[in-house]
Structure 1
Amino acid sequence: MSNTVLKMINFQLVITSDQLSAVRQQLADQRAIGVDTETTSLDPFEARVRLLQLAAPEIVYIVDLFQIPKAAIAPIKELLEAERPVKVIHNAKFDAKMLRHHYGIELNAIFDTMLASQLVSAGDSNQRHGLSDLAWRYLGRRIEKSLRTSDWSGSLSQAMLEYAAEDAAVLLTLRQYLIERIKELQLIDVAKLEFDCVLPTAAMELAGIYLDESRWEKLVAAVEAQSSRLETDIKQALAAASQQIDLFGQADINLNSPQQVQEAFARLGIPIQSTRELELESFAEDYPIIAQLIDYRHQQKFLSTYGRTLLDHIHPATGRIHADFRQIGTPTGRFSCSSPNVQQVPNEPEVRACFTAPPGRKLVVADYSQIELCILAEFSRDPRMLEAFLNGIDLHRSTASLMFDVPIDEVTREHRAIAKTLNYGLLYGMGAAGLAARIGAPVAEAEKLMARYFEVYHGVADWLRAAADTAVSVGHSRTHWGRLWNFRFDPNHREQVATVQRLGKNAPIQGSSADILKRAMRLVYDALRDAYIVNSIHDEIVVEADQPIAEDVAEIVHERMIAAAQEFIRAIPVEVDVHVGDAWMK
């Protein structure tokens, strides 16, 4: 850590249009400027932007936007939308939303110190990435944050202005440090990828997604009723073997208690070792009560995660749901989502059908076809896998045909299902025991199937082995764009080594998929007019458009998503499935 101490910050309060024009002239030739805002609320639909801080190396200009008419902000709009200077911002998504919503400003040439720090941390979940955390960790400087929650709608004290100036001034120093680390760790390409994705993410959050409230309420009521019936049926079935019966002749157990459920099944002679879903699924076909329990749990999870509380997330100002997307939500670079999590909405048609386009508009739902397997084929250059993709043959059927030595038109549904389980499962480090549980076969048979799979795809076998070995030997993995994940483990600890080997296989695949999607989001965002991204889910982009242009928008989305993937995947064609409709359905 450096012991750098920033000198006393020189700042100027800007309160007139003439001063604002002068600021633009002063900053236009800078290579980089720090940018920050202070707002009256964190909600862009409720907030007003009070201050806009613009930092040069020797001075911070603090623009009091309450004093300047919107009609007079053109000089600053030009500055912030220009290719240069670079705008150094911490958590740029927040400021991008505020400036876009209130002033129509599209930030350009962003360097986000929060995203840069997350990239440099290389998957270290113990590191925090708030501005004060970065200033202390990288610069040895403490930033006073007690004024962050000040009332920015009232009069401005000297302390508030000094706080605002410091937040902006430190950004330029942070950028210099982070640039050196980004270069040192060879993260330039992925940093550009992440910075380019800020505007699409901000616009997606602002746009929100529309929910048919009436349809949702009916769905939730139906699930509640069905869940109640299932609970009654399960408890009645368990009553015969239970020592505790309630007044209604039902087993007096808590179905959400793994211990109580396992003990109840043991009394029925069902030999489950745990109540985890993977274990339960292997018994569901033979024991209807277990199938009922699985359904009951799914319904309870839906009701607790979404249920009636989802309606509370509909914003009164827009009538839409505005979720919070965290751009680097996992070490592999995937998004995470909260408040609410619209990425993990169940895939059942009756659930997705509630997420609709409002009258006069359509949803364009586009998703990559087998993108992770395309990435595996690109990385491994396995000749048989490449051949299937190049010839447009269903990969799972082709895999089954090769594994079971049958003509492709004679592949059974069961054989294809086994092949699909292997194709995807091995990417995530699935072993013989996991395969056996998924296909309902003995472990010995699963081991033979895996061995046969690697005989068929020797290129895949070689790549997976090399990826696992490299992860252990060098202690990290990278995606095509260079995203870094450092693995922290004890090389003498067998289980930790096994975990790193598994991550070493999966991280380059899943991470490259995340990188492709982010690149696609930027390309789609740049091409859209009168349409906007409303959701993004791992390999899928959902766009809302006016009905008359929806088909044209679908074509644009299709082209841009393919273009993004082909920046990396060049050995085989990439397919994107696109559907235009009234709801979030494929």
Structure 2
Amino acid sequence: MGQLIMDTSFGKGCHLHLIDGSAFIFRAYHALPPLTRKSDGLPVGAVSGFVNMLFKQVEDNKGPDAPTHVAVIFDHSGKSFRHDIFPDYKANRPPAPEDLRPQFPLTRDATRAFNIACVEIENFEADDIIATLARQGREAGGRVTIISSDKDMMQLVGGGVEMLDAMKNKRIDNAGVEEKFGVGPERVIDVQALAGDSVDNVPGAPGIGIKTAALLINEYGDLDSLLARAEEIKQPKRRETLINFADQIRVSRDLVTLDQNMELDFTLDDLAVKDPEADALLGFLTEMEFRTISRRVADALGVEAPVIEEKVAASAEEAQQGAEEVPFDAEKYECVRDLPALQAWVERIYARGYVAVDTETTGLNEMRADLVGISLCVTPGEACYIPLTHRASASDDLFGSDALAEGQCGEREALAILKSVLEDPSVLKIGQNMKYDAKIFSRYGIEVAPIDDTMLMSYALNGGAHNHGMDLLSERYLGHAPIPIKPLLGSGKSAITFDKVAIDEATKYAAEDADITLRLWKQFKPQLHRSRVTTVYETLERPLVPVLKRMEMSGIKVDRDTLSRMSNAFAQKMAGLEAEIHELAGETFNVGSPAQLGDILFEKMGLSGGKKGKTGKYSTPADVLEDLATEHDLPGRVIDWRQLSKLKSTYTDSLQEHIHPDTGRVHTSYSIAGANTGRLASTDPNLQNIPVRTEEGRRIREAFVAPEGRVLLSLDYSQIELRILAHIADIPQLKQAFAEGQDIHAATASEMFGVPLDEMTPDVRRQAKAINFGVIYGISGFGLARNLRIPRAEAQGFIDRYFERFPGIKDYMDATVAFAKENGHVQTLFGRKIHTPEINARGPHAGFAKRAAINAPIQGTAADVIRRAMVRMEAAIADLPATMLLQVHDELIFEVDQDAIDATIARVRDVMESAADPAVHLDVPLVVDAGQGANWAEAH
């Protein structure tokens, strides 16, 4: 396997390999399905992957280019010296997954078992150790290969030092660095200092990304010259940023500069390649119970492979299945009625390291409901319920006493005991729709973290296949129908809240919820890896929970007087429209009655197109009225009346009821798993569907206001779905138009109709716009004809011409449908799977399923981009007096102090425009428009 080196002194002709061990570990963990040691259930999946990668590295590096010296360098778990420079360095990095932590020391053991130098130093990162060793190797006259793809180490390349991306087998030299950063290795630090790094929380210069940074450094030579001559820069924002943030940029330079002069207690000679000792290496592999790699290593060493006996009759997976097969028995659940019993459960939680938790409350509105009790589960079949505020009165007590029932833990004392474990970073809290429970706990002073969410796991695994409520998941995946809530609470006027439910009955229902949640988690967690959606869950789903929790709890201020005035104005306008409608009809009737309207239109006025439903009454949906509006004024007036009526009832009236009595704000709730494509859904109230195409609809946004001294900011992706379409379908004309910042609808019209851009008319542009957006949603000739109010044949001709001019779009559509039919799902650029269960159906659903499959990768990728931006946003604006309040599909709304407007816009725009990086490199730029105002209407 190895190559014995007799002369170990390092110098000319020697070749040093420096392996980034931490990168190997995380790559192994995320790339492979989970694996546990059969004898005791210890997680060893990352160790297995690490061993295989190390073995491949040894076996692939033989011959004249083989290393003469080698070391694997690891990050130490403690803080580095950079935290002294900048305390928030790496502050937004999530903790390591709980099943990875015990594997870190085992990877060190694996390195030593291969007889390879294993290096880690307290208070220093692996990058600094690698930098120091690389310098020493270069100065000694040898070659150095850094086995890593980490961009932070590209500053070391040159003068005999290169990098190797082992996964892609791609060498990174000076040209490779310039391709990545736009500058040579000697100026990488300057570019990084300007661009910052959201992953490591290096602040950089707000609003300046890699490309701009490279342009500036290439123009001015180096960072010091640039900062010294910042006054010369013509662009005002860029100039002000460099002047105002010069100190921050210099601190960033200190953070990204690798320390090449560490004091090491070993020399390069100590890193000489040595053959592994068969007993030590095979002994370690046997201990880990790695059968396959043991045989391969034994063959390479020319020795007999060890026999690894089964140490238990059942595998860890079978043991897990056995645990899940423990029958549900609600009678066995424990009711925790005193603090000593609760303390015993807390000790069980600490011993286990994770707990399924669920709350019972007096309602579904997390901002108004009161906590009634908490359920916990650490082992399938063993769960408890902790009653806190159940009432003494029976459920049928007409007088409704507020006295507490006996035999409950004191609320304050119980929460004080639970606070430590619910906030402990070493204990994983598992929930089903954990955002709800986290908001409840937050109102009681408990910030739950870290978390896992079975609803979001199901969403990552099965988006589009079914909904992700607990009852459905339990029946589908556990074969168990949960205890229903309705018999406990009743319905209608006689319904009660959960605090009136008898404690014994509440225990069975509530504890079962925690039991089900834990069993679902045990089943879903390993499937994330097998289905290759771990990254989707870990980067797009789970980290969004605390972000949305804080947004929802912040809420947005709504002016009740403005809404009230709008309601009155809408009522007056509706009355005027009713009078016009009655005059046109020649009689009075109830405009809000479809049946009466149908009689007027199709019986009295004799208009064509009337269809009666099963009740014998005429149907008057919007599309029928729109067609009739081309023939007569009355249907158009009814459309206007209906729109005003909906605005009044849905928004100006009902929004007033949603204003929280204590905060004076409206607190919407976002459903992360509500839409198949990854789009968030807003409920109670829905703030994403406020119509903006009519003047009245836009006016409703005037009621959403900023408090005195603050303003609302709106930052909105410009045409993000069209940009993603241009990238995915690889349309050169669209990509060029976006790259040059052209008006995309005018550019499309010019391409389709042969009209020069300087001769473009609004009408021609409007037609192109309708086609651009319509095609994304699979619009038909009939639908486009209705939108543009043109003959169907002409509309179909537009669509045909569109596909002729942009053939890549049709190719994309055909390929996407074919992929969906073969695989049962489509995917976003970030790996989100959107299942298409009806894609092979026949009949009316077939067309819809195809259109949905075509649109899903585009809309889903756009949804993923803004999710990534939201996850990064809090850390990016943490030092600014700014709060993220709302997400409306492609738009984010912030509340900001007056004097922080420009800084916030720059910071937010930078995060949003770079949100796809580094996971996906888009061929078109993402552009974000910004607006500000005292209310939402002014801001957007």
Which TM bucket (shorter chain)?
Answer: 0.7 to 0.9
Q: How does 1:112-131 map to 2 (within 5 A)?
A: 112-125=453-466, 129-130=469-470
Please tell me whether the aligned partners of residues 401 and 407 of structure 1 are also in contact (alpha carbons under 8 angstroms).
Answer: yes
Counterpart of 2:601 (choices 245, 264, 289) is 264
CA distance in 2, matches of 1:512, 1:362: 30
Q: Does 1:499 align with 2:848?
A: yes
Deviations 1:19-61 (A, max 9, x none): 75x8767645745321223345544444444544454338657
- Name the aligned partner's letter for residue 638 of structure 2: L
State the Cα distance separating 1:540 from its structure 2 match: 1.4
State the Cα distance separating 1:395 from its structure 2 match: 0.8
SS in 1 for 2:883: strand
Please tell me whether the aligned partners of residues 836 and 853 of structure 2 are also in contact (alpha carbons under 8 angstroms).
Answer: no
Which is higher, the Rg of structure 1 or of structure 2? 2
State the Cα distance separating 1:380 from its structure 2 match: 0.9
Please tell me whether the aligned partners of residues 3 and 141 of structure 1 are also in contact (alpha carbons under 8 angstroms).
Answer: no
Please tell me whether the aligned partners of residues 839 and 850 of structure 2 are also in contact (alpha carbons under 8 angstroms).
Answer: no
SS in 2 for 1:225: helix
Q: 1:160 to 1:267 in 2, by over 3 A?
A: closer
| Match of residue 341 from structure 1 | 686
Please tell me whether the aligned partners of residues 472 and 500 of structure 1 are also in contact (alpha carbons under 8 angstroms).
Answer: no
Q: Does 1:416 align with 2:768?
A: no
- Name the aligned partner's letter for residue 90 of structure 1: Q
- Name the aligned partner's letter for residue 868 of structure 2: R
| Match of residue 435 from structure 2 | 93
| Match of residue 860 from structure 2 | 511
Please tell me whether the aligned partners of residues 432 and 454 of structure 2 are also in contact (alpha carbons under 8 angstroms).
Answer: yes
Q: 1:117 to 1:4 in 2, by over 3 A?
A: farther
Q: How does 1:157-176 map to 2 (within 5 A)?
A: 157=503, 160-161=506-507, 164-176=510-522
Deviations 1:520-573 (A, max 9, x none): 222223444454333221111222234343443333332222232444452111
| Match of residue 217 from structure 2 | none
Counterpart of 2:478 (choices 139, 148, 170) is 139
Q: 1:12 to 1:525 in 2, by over 3 A?
A: farther
Please tell me whether the aligned partners of residues 272 and 280 of structure 1 are also in contact (alpha carbons under 8 angstroms).
Answer: no
CA distance in 1, matches of 2:796, 2:499: 67
CA distance in 2, matches of 1:560, 1:9: 51
State the Cα distance separating 1:77 from its structure 2 match: 4.7
Q: How does 1:189-268 map to 2 (within 5 A)?
A: 189-192=535-538, 193-239=540-586, 250-252=587-589, 254=591, 256-257=593-594, 260-261=597-598, 264=601
Moved more, 261-270 or 537-546: 261-270
Q: 1:547 to 1:54 in 2, by over 3 A?
A: farther
| Match of residue 161 from structure 2 | none
Q: 1:527 to 1:72 in 2, by over 3 A?
A: farther
CA distance in 1, matches of 2:516, 2:529: 20
- Name the aligned partner's letter for residue 928 of structure 2: V
Moved more, 318-327 or 217-226: 318-327
Q: 1:40 to 1:217 in 2, by over 3 A?
A: closer
TM-score, with length taken from structure 1: 0.86
State the Cα distance separating 1:314 from its structure 2 match: 1.6
Q: Does 1:178 align with 2:524?
A: yes
- Name the aligned partner's letter for residue 219 of structure 1: M
Q: 1:100 to 1:283 in 2, by over 3 A?
A: same
- Name the aligned partner's letter for residue 410 of structure 1: E
| Match of residue 933 from structure 2 | 581
State the Cα distance separating 1:404 from its structure 2 match: 1.1
Q: Does 1:109 align with 2:475?
A: no
- Name the aligned partner's letter for residue 584 of structure 1: W
Deviations 1:349-392 (A, max 9, x none): 32111111222332221211111112211211111111111111
State the Cα distance separating 1:510 from its structure 2 match: 1.7
- Name the aligned partner's letter for residue 935 of structure 2: A
Q: Does 1:305 align with 2:650?
A: yes
- Name the aligned partner's letter for residue 477 of structure 1: V
Deviations 1:492-511 (A, max 9, x none): 72433322221121122222
Please tell me whether the aligned partners of residues 24 and 79 of structure 1 are also in contact (alpha carbons under 8 angstroms).
Answer: yes
Q: Unaligned 5+ residue runs, structure 2?
A: 1-320, 389-408, 490-495, 612-619
Q: Does 1:538 align with 2:889?
A: yes
Structure 1's consecutive aligned runs of 4 or more residues displaced over 6 angstroms after TM superposition are: 22-25, 61-65, 150-156
SS in 1 for 2:357: strand
- Name the aligned partner's letter for residue 135 of structure 1: S
Deviations 1:468-523 (A, max 9, x none): 33333433322233333333348472433322221121122222222223222222
- Name the aligned partner's letter for residue 485 of structure 1: I
SS in 2 for 1:376: helix
Q: 1:272 to 1:36 in 2, by over 3 A?
A: same
Q: 1:262 to 1:552 in 2, by over 3 A?
A: farther
CA distance in 2, matches of 1:352, 1:484: 35
- Name the aligned partner's letter for residue 431 of structure 1: S
SS in 1 for 2:884: strand
Please tell me whether the aligned partners of residues 544 and 870 of structure 2 are also in contact (alpha carbons under 8 angstroms).
Answer: yes
State the Cα distance separating 1:299 from its structure 2 match: 0.8
CA distance in 2, matches of 1:251, 1:483: 55
Please tell me whether the aligned partners of residues 491 and 497 of structure 1 are also in contact (alpha carbons under 8 angstroms).
Answer: yes
Q: 1:329 to 1:135 in 2, by over 3 A?
A: closer
SS in 2 for 1:306: helix
SS in 1 for 2:666: coil
Q: 1:159 to 1:290 in 2, by over 3 A?
A: closer
Q: 1:557 to 1:9 in 2, by over 3 A?
A: farther
| Match of residue 640 from structure 2 | 295
State the Cα distance separating 1:579 from its structure 2 match: 1.6
Select the structure with the greater relative contact order (CA < 8 A; seq sep ≥ 6). Answer: 1
Q: 1:40 to 1:230 in 2, by over 3 A?
A: closer
| Match of residue 67 from structure 1 | 410
Please tell me whether the aligned partners of residues 826 and 835 of structure 2 are also in contact (alpha carbons under 8 angstroms).
Answer: yes
Q: Does 1:560 align with 2:911?
A: yes
SS in 1 for 2:914: helix
| Match of residue 280 from structure 2 | none
Counterpart of 2:706 (choices 328, 347, 357) is 357
Please tell me whether the aligned partners of residues 282 and 440 of structure 1 are also in contact (alpha carbons under 8 angstroms).
Answer: no
Please tell me whether the aligned partners of residues 37 and 95 of structure 1 are also in contact (alpha carbons under 8 angstroms).
Answer: yes
State the Cα distance separating 1:342 from its structure 2 match: 1.6
Alignment size in residue pairs: 571
| Match of residue 744 from structure 2 | 395
- Name the aligned partner's letter for residue 463 of structure 1: Y
| Match of residue 873 from structure 2 | 524
Q: 1:56 to 1:284 in 2, by over 3 A?
A: same
CA distance in 1, matches of 2:350, 2:883: 31
Q: Unaligned 5+ residue runs, structure 1?
A: 240-249
Q: 1:518 to 1:14 in 2, by over 3 A?
A: farther
State the Cα distance separating 1:464 from its structure 2 match: 1.6
- Name the aligned partner's letter for residue 476 of structure 2: R
State the Cα distance separating 1:269 from its structure 2 match: 7.1
Identity %: 30
Q: Does 1:38 align with 2:379?
A: no
SS in 2 for 1:480: coil
Q: How does 1:386-465 map to 2 (within 5 A)?
A: 386-465=735-814
- Name the aligned partner's letter for residue 704 of structure 2: F
CA distance in 1, matches of 2:414, 2:518: 29
Please give the root-mean-square deviation of Cα atoms over the aligned residues, in Å: 3.5
CA distance in 2, matches of 1:382, 1:544: 38
State the Cα distance separating 1:393 from its structure 2 match: 0.9
TM-score, with length taken from structure 2: 0.55
Please tell me whether the aligned partners of residues 374 and 569 of structure 1 are also in contact (alpha carbons under 8 angstroms).
Answer: no
Q: 1:78 to 1:87 in 2, by over 3 A?
A: same
| Match of residue 247 from structure 1 | none
CA distance in 1, matches of 2:627, 2:765: 19
State the Cα distance separating 1:81 from its structure 2 match: 4.2
State the Cα distance separating 1:88 from its structure 2 match: 1.0
Q: 1:83 to 1:288 in 2, by over 3 A?
A: same
Moved more, 181-190 or 276-285: 276-285
Moved more, 305-314 or 214-223: 305-314
Please tell me whether the aligned partners of residues 352 and 584 of structure 1 are also in contact (alpha carbons under 8 angstroms).
Answer: yes
